[in-house]
Amino acid sequence: MKVKKGADVKGLSEQVWFALGVCAAESRQLGVGLVVTSGRDGAHRPGSLHYTGNAVDIRTRDLSPAAQKDFHEYLKGLLDRLGFDVVLERDHLHIEWDPKKTDIPWLQEVA
Protein backbone atom coordinates (compact mmCIF):
# COMPACT_ATOMS: atom_id res chain seq x y z
CA MET A 1 0.00 0.00 0.00
CA LYS A 2 1.26 3.45 -0.88
CA VAL A 3 0.13 6.86 0.32
CA LYS A 4 0.06 9.75 -2.14
CA LYS A 5 2.36 12.60 -1.19
CA GLY A 6 0.35 15.05 0.89
CA ALA A 7 -2.31 12.55 1.95
CA ASP A 8 -2.66 12.47 5.74
CA VAL A 9 -3.32 9.00 7.16
CA LYS A 10 -2.36 9.88 10.73
CA GLY A 11 -5.30 9.49 13.05
CA LEU A 12 -7.38 7.18 10.83
CA SER A 13 -9.70 4.99 12.85
CA GLU A 14 -8.93 1.32 13.43
CA GLN A 15 -11.97 0.47 11.34
CA VAL A 16 -10.64 2.42 8.35
CA TRP A 17 -7.26 0.68 8.67
CA PHE A 18 -9.14 -2.64 8.63
CA ALA A 19 -10.93 -1.61 5.42
CA LEU A 20 -7.62 -0.58 3.86
CA GLY A 21 -6.23 -4.02 4.64
CA VAL A 22 -9.18 -5.61 2.85
CA CYS A 23 -8.62 -3.24 -0.10
CA ALA A 24 -4.91 -4.04 -0.22
CA ALA A 25 -5.55 -7.78 -0.33
CA GLU A 26 -8.04 -7.43 -3.18
CA SER A 27 -5.85 -5.00 -5.14
CA ARG A 28 -3.04 -7.59 -5.03
CA GLN A 29 -5.47 -10.10 -6.57
CA LEU A 30 -6.13 -7.60 -9.37
CA GLY A 31 -2.41 -7.05 -9.85
CA VAL A 32 -2.44 -3.34 -9.04
CA GLY A 33 -1.00 -1.33 -6.20
CA LEU A 34 -3.24 0.34 -3.67
CA VAL A 35 -2.73 4.09 -3.38
CA VAL A 36 -4.47 6.12 -0.67
CA THR A 37 -5.11 9.56 -2.16
CA SER A 38 -6.85 11.21 0.80
CA GLY A 39 -7.32 10.58 4.49
CA ARG A 40 -7.80 13.41 6.94
CA ASP A 41 -6.51 15.93 4.40
CA GLY A 42 -8.07 17.71 1.46
CA ALA A 43 -11.20 19.72 0.87
CA HIS A 44 -14.36 17.75 1.48
CA ARG A 45 -17.97 18.67 2.10
CA PRO A 46 -18.82 20.03 5.56
CA GLY A 47 -19.34 17.20 8.02
CA SER A 48 -17.26 14.77 5.95
CA LEU A 49 -16.01 11.74 7.82
CA HIS A 50 -12.56 12.42 6.36
CA TYR A 51 -12.08 15.09 9.03
CA THR A 52 -12.67 12.61 11.88
CA GLY A 53 -10.43 9.90 10.41
CA ASN A 54 -13.35 7.72 9.41
CA ALA A 55 -13.01 7.97 5.61
CA VAL A 56 -10.38 7.46 2.93
CA ASP A 57 -10.16 7.74 -0.82
CA ILE A 58 -8.20 5.28 -2.93
CA ARG A 59 -7.00 5.61 -6.50
CA THR A 60 -8.88 3.83 -9.27
CA ARG A 61 -7.22 5.25 -12.39
CA ASP A 62 -4.89 2.24 -12.66
CA LEU A 63 -7.92 -0.01 -13.22
CA SER A 64 -10.01 -0.42 -16.34
CA PRO A 65 -13.65 0.70 -16.01
CA ALA A 66 -14.71 -2.95 -15.74
CA ALA A 67 -12.09 -3.66 -13.05
CA GLN A 68 -13.15 -0.52 -11.14
CA LYS A 69 -16.72 -1.79 -11.11
CA ASP A 70 -15.67 -5.29 -10.02
CA PHE A 71 -13.38 -3.89 -7.30
CA HIS A 72 -16.18 -1.64 -6.02
CA GLU A 73 -18.78 -4.41 -6.00
CA TYR A 74 -16.44 -6.84 -4.24
CA LEU A 75 -15.51 -4.35 -1.52
CA LYS A 76 -19.09 -3.18 -1.12
CA GLY A 77 -20.23 -6.78 -0.66
CA LEU A 78 -17.65 -7.35 2.08
CA LEU A 79 -17.67 -4.01 3.86
CA ASP A 80 -21.26 -2.73 3.69
CA ARG A 81 -22.55 -5.33 6.11
CA LEU A 82 -19.81 -4.34 8.56
CA GLY A 83 -20.92 -0.71 8.75
CA PHE A 84 -18.95 0.84 5.88
CA ASP A 85 -20.17 2.84 2.93
CA VAL A 86 -18.22 2.11 -0.26
CA VAL A 87 -18.84 4.56 -3.12
CA LEU A 88 -17.29 4.53 -6.58
CA GLU A 89 -16.71 8.16 -7.51
CA ARG A 90 -15.60 9.49 -10.89
CA ASP A 91 -11.89 9.29 -10.11
CA HIS A 92 -11.57 7.35 -6.84
CA LEU A 93 -13.17 4.90 -4.45
CA HIS A 94 -14.48 6.47 -1.24
CA ILE A 95 -14.73 4.27 1.85
CA GLU A 96 -16.14 5.46 5.14
CA TRP A 97 -16.92 3.90 8.50
CA ASP A 98 -20.47 5.01 9.22
CA PRO A 99 -22.37 2.22 10.98
CA LYS A 100 -26.04 2.41 11.72
CA LYS A 101 -27.35 0.24 14.54
CA THR A 102 -29.36 -1.82 12.07
CA ASP A 103 -26.26 -2.49 9.93
CA ILE A 104 -24.43 -4.54 12.53
CA PRO A 105 -26.68 -6.71 14.68
CA TRP A 106 -23.79 -7.83 16.90
CA LEU A 107 -23.18 -4.17 17.86
CA GLN A 108 -26.69 -3.79 19.24
CA GLU A 109 -26.91 -2.65 22.81
CA VAL A 110 -28.11 -5.21 25.29
CA ALA A 111 -30.63 -4.13 27.90
Instruction: Write a three-state SS string for 12-69.
Output: CCHHHHHHHHHHHHHHHHHCCCCEEEECCCCCCCCCCCCCCCCEEEEECCCCCHHHHH
Mean pLDDT, rounded, for 73-101: 89
Q: Domains (ranges, CATH) in the chain?
A: 2-107 (3.30.1380.10)
| Confidence tier at 12 by pLDDT (50, 70, 90) | very high
Residue 15: the pLDDT is 93
pLDDT tens digits, one per residue of 34-69: 899 998 887 778 788 888 889 999 999 888 899 899
pLDDT confidence of residue 63 = 86
This prediction has a pTM of 0.83
pLDDT, average across residues 78-98: 91
Does pLDDT of 107 surpass 80?
A: no
Q: Above 50 in pLDDT, residue 96?
A: yes
Secondary structure element (H or E) that encloses residue 73, with its range: helix 65-79
pLDDT at 31 over 90: no
